[in-house]
Amino acid sequence: MGTGAEKARPLSDRYHLTSPIGQDGMGIVWRAHDSLLRRNVAIKEIQPRFGEYGADMRDARRRALREARSAGRLNHPAVISVHDLLEEDGRLWIVMELLEALTLKETVRHMGHLPIHWVAWIGFQLLGGLRHAHGAGVLHRSINPRNILLTGDRVVLADFGIAALHRDSGTSTTLPLTHAPAFIAPERLRGGLPTPAGDLWSFGASLYFAVEGRPPRSGHRPTPHGPAAGRNPETMVRAGALRPVLEGLLRRDPAARISMGQAGRMLSAVLHAEGVALARPRLPAARLPPDAYA
């Protein structure tokens, strides 16, 4: 983690770090202030993995550049905005928009599981960001409840740390174990190439987690050929009207999965049946409403 030295001296003579606010698979995220534009931002301090000969700065730099370039080319309310990439004192820093939000994982941990209409709205909004990313040729490859952020009125997909530009043959197919194997598509666990269908499986698995309160698979390790990689999702007991869309997204065969358009229409139908207007979300932020299950 950074020390008081970074907090005392601004990065790039512009960004003042104030306090750490979180951590993901790539590093620590700081709350900071941009003195030039006079706004608060979030800055991710990239922390390289330690290998046999010490920190792998080359790998850290490659991943940081990939995250910044992938997210930086996107502009959608459901995708976190990247403002800048810095390299200073041998370390890398990604400057992003600052969101006052809970992750989907934190929200489910607090509540146990979410109501069907909340999950349908979260899914519908998130699907818009995913459609935008795929349209720009960007695959996320690590969608899971830890990087889905919920504010008072937005659903935001963050952490493009292992994102791939679609059709980029130079991108590794290796999956770090830190990236939530329970939410990775079966074909990816078996060593298959990243595809839009893989992102859709992870998207469906995250919605399953939200409505059921548990991952679609549990108690397994991501072995390339073991039975865990091909296990079907566990039985749904709370999904209700969401069951058809979840079953369609979580099919083991990527060619048999429903499309993004089909998923969007099915989620829209659920929202319509639940009487939820698409333009007026009711999502948890820092405080959860007492009538969440009403």
The percentage of the chain sitting over the pLDDT mark of 70, rounded to a whole number, equals 72
In the chain, residues under CATH classification 3.30.200.20 are 9-97
Residue 75, classified by CB atoms within 10 Å of its CB into exposed (0-12), middle (13-18) or buried (19+), is exposed
What CATH topology corresponds to 9-97?
Answer: Phosphorylase Kinase; domain 1 (3.30.200)
Whether 33 and 12 have beta carbons less than 8 Å apart is answered as: no
DSSP code, position 188: H
CB 125 within 8 A of CB 154: yes
- The amino acid occupying position 290 is P
Domain with CATH 1.10.510.10 in the chain: 102-274
Range 102-128 average pLDDT: 96
Return mean pLDDT, the chain: 80
pLDDT of residue 161: 62
Q: Is residue 116 scored above 60 in pLDDT? A: yes
Q: What is the average pLDDT across 271-277?
A: 87
CA nearest to 64, candidates 95, 101, 20: 95
Res. 282 pLDDT band, cuts 50 70 90: very low
- Per-residue confidence band for 146, with pLDDT thresholds at 50, 70 and 90: very high
The two tokens of residue 258 are 């429903």
Residue 253 to residue 249: CA distance in whole angstroms: 10
Q: Is the pTM of this model over 0.75?
A: yes
Integer-rounded Cα Rg, in Å, for the chain is 19
The residues, any chain, with a CB within 8 Å of residue 285's CB and separated by 6 or more, are 100, 101, 102, 150, 151, 152
Q: What confidence score (pLDDT) does residue 106 get?
A: 95
pLDDT higher than threshold 60 for residue 27 = yes
Q: What is the pLDDT of residues 232-250, one digit of tens each?
A: 566 899 999 999 999 999 9
Render pLDDT for 179-231 as a digit per residue (tens, 0 to 9). 578 999 999 999 998 899 999 999 999 999 999 999 997 544 444 433 344 44
Q: What is the crossing angle of helices 116-135 and 196-212, to 10°?
A: 160
102-274 CATH pick, 1.20.1730.10, 1.10.287.3510, 1.10.510.10, 3.40.47.40: 1.10.510.10
* Two structure tokens written together for 190: 């078996």
Distance from the first to the final alpha carbon of the chain: 42
